Structure 1
Amino acid sequence: MNLINTILGFRNFCKVDEIKRFIHISISLDKSEDLVFSGHILLFKTSRQQTWIIISNIRLICVLDDISKDNFEIRWDLDKHLVLFESKVILEITVEPHYSRRSGIINFGEYHKNWLYTKKLFPHPKDLKQKLLETIITEMG
């Protein structure tokens, strides 16, 4: 945590394992759904916010961690039948790199649009999309 955040009273970012444990407790998970070993991708990172995509064998979950708030929040989740069919990703994922110098936009289907991603983490839009597709197929397939 940097000094300015400490002075302002902000908390540290949650670790991905903490996020997964919280999701496991807060969402009614199927007994076969195990988030401990699920895939995860950090999409967006600034000094005050992080956006994670957590991918289990049953669902895709978007988590926003804003250190100015008490805790992170689950922004949305999608069941497997909306994401994958017969080992093929059916969720339309589009990546638009022209948002700003540091950020691009990623869309997850019709209802989860305009999520930011950090270009420093994913300098090439096709690499972000490929990472998502591969992780979805690995975790859900």
Structure 2
Amino acid sequence: MSFYSLFGYRSFKTENEIKNIVIDFINENHKKLSVSNIDISSRNLEVINTYALKIFQTPTQVTWVVARNGYFFCLLDDIELNKNVQIIRWYKKIVDIKDQITFEDSYRKPEKVGIINFGDMHKGWLYSKNVIGNDEMAKKYINNLVVSGSSAN
């Protein structure tokens, strides 16, 4: 039992739970997204073919970015929020943001935190350097995620 669960908070979602949230969202919205429905009879394979990266973590929040079916998703897992709150904060087609991802130093604690801008609409997302690595590693991981999600079906 974690410290936070003693006060009624839930645990953070695992990487596979995050991937499953995105898979379920795609299946529920596949017509709107103009993508094929994902075959959930092979759920384990679909989870493997979904790419997720934890980019930020505090004691009460974790931010994930996930790439799948040509889309890029940003999820905020906040253990203080009700478990029924939608944790997918936004999603965009990868082709619409892949050339607009920029990195900058945080003005607060640049040795611990950096900032990622995902185009003009989704600016100021923090990343933890102890979670994702230094600035160069962050760029590499995000770029690899974008490339992987562009080709995943």
When normalised by structure 2's length, the TM-score is 0.77
When normalised by structure 1's length, the TM-score is 0.82
- Note the residue ranges of structure 1 that are not aligned, 5 or more in a row: 84-88
Letter in 2 for 1:64: L
Letter in 2 for 1:126: E
Q: Give the CA RMSD over aligned residues.
A: 2.1
User: Which structure has more RCO (C-alpha within 8 Å, separation ≥ 6)?
Assistant: 2
Q: State, as a whole percentage, how many aligned pairs show the same letter.
A: 31
Partner of 1:104: 114
Letter in 2 for 1:42: K
Change in Cα spacing, 1:127 to 1:33, as seen in structure 2 (3 Å) is: farther
- Structure having the higher strand fraction is 1
- Note the residue ranges of structure 2 that are not aligned, 5 or more in a row: 40-45
Partner of 1:86: none
Aligned residues: 134
User: Structure 1 CA distance, aligned partners of 2:2 and 2:113?
Assistant: 22
Letter in 1 for 2:75: V
- Structure having the higher helix fraction is 2
Partner of 1:43: 55
Say whether residues 1:80 and 2:94 are aligned partners.
Answer: yes
Residue 32 of structure 1: how far off its partner (Å):
5.9
Partner of 2:101: 93
SS in 1 for 2:132: coil
